[in-house]
Amino acid sequence: MFSSAIRNKSRLVFDLQKLSNKFSTSNQSNVKVAVCGASGGIGQPLSLLLKQSPLVTELSLYDIVHTPGVAADLGHIETKSKVKGFVGPDQLKDSLKGAEVIIIPAGVPRKPGMTRDDLFNTNASIVRDLAQAVAEVAPKALVGIISNPVNSTVPIASEVLKKAGVYDPNRIFGVTTLDIVRANTFVAELKGLDPTNVNVPVIGGHSGITIIPLISQAKPSVEFPKDQLKALTERIQEAGTEVVKAKAGAGSATLSMAYAGAKFAFALCRALKGESVTECAFVKSDVTEAKYFSTPIVLGPGGIAKNLGVGKLTDFETELLKAAIPELKKNIQKGEDFVNKN
């Protein structure tokens, strides 16, 4: 019985290691990652995934409640990374000291009938205050913002960092990875493919019509009839609402967002160590008329090493882009105005 238990434990550890290595080509363990909003519906599973990665040496967890308990819970997991919890505004700056990667899922979740814009007033203040602490304590960190509405919260963080005199547009990212994860999954389902081998770039923003999946640039190459392509595009754009409705008031997309957030965090960790990694993210951009825009970007130790742009678009995708730009510009302006008025 004892030997059987040992075998089962070894199998579990091996499976967890495989999960980590899905996002890592290196077992080097030397990045400090901070999660702001670590006790929430996204923050807890995100922190669990980060704890399992060999890329993470130290995990610093911050929230306004329960963080010491979350840290104690994760601290019992048999991986090398050290975990420490920080709770309340008085401990915020301490939680960010020495952080090389900061992931921000803090804020209130979406509920049935709510748009991402409805979240604005609460989450805008949260992101503003976190960005101020980043500016003072960890201005050189690579910062991934999950808090919605991303189209506005990324400009908010950027404006705060500008006012503090430490803004580097190459180090601030809106995490749109979930849109790519969903696109990969939905395309794979329709074509009978292995979703781990599908890669669909998604450009634009991170809400509704600003989400522009570039099915024409998918790898492997796929084609759909016009009506199916339209339906697929709309499903990707409204997938968040699909989850909110399915949970019937019990929350929004937390587990899939945690997975996507971890995937992007691991990309930042790998880039910090000199690996060239390509991911889509919502960043300061001159690719379109919108000041911020998501495109595939090459990541390096200093953040954005190269913006790969939108590539060649089909007529259908060009129309999606035209529809997205006015909405994006409005969202961005709303974020900038919030900081300038507050």
Catalytic residue among 116, 171, 182, 206: 206
Angstrom distance (rounded) from CA 111 to CA 119: 10
SS (H, E, C) the chain: CHHHHHHHHHHHHHHHHHHHHCCCCCCCCCEEEEEECCCCCCHHHHHHHHHCCCCEEEEEEEECCCHHHHHHHHHCCCCCCEEEEEECHHHHHHHHCCCCEEEECCCCCCCCCCCHHHHHHHHHHHHHHHHHHHHHHCCCCEEEECCCCHHHHHHHHHHHHHHCCCCCHHHEEECCHHHHHHHHHHHHHHHCCCHHHCECCEEECCCHHHEEECHHHCECCCCCCHHHHHHHHHHHHCHHHHHHHHHCCCCCCCHHHHHHHHHHHHHHHHHHCCCCEEEEEEEECCCCCCCEEEEEEEEECCEEEEECCCCCCCHHHHHHHHHHHHHHHHHHHHHHHHHHHC
Cα atoms found within 13 Å of the Cα of residue 115, Cβ hemisphere only:
9
Beta bridge partners of residue 296, listed in sequence order: 280
Residue 206 falls in the annotated catalytic set: yes
Structure tokens at 100: 């090389």
Chain CA centroid to CA 45, Å: 13
CB contact at 8 A, 162 and 140: no
Known catalytic residues? 206
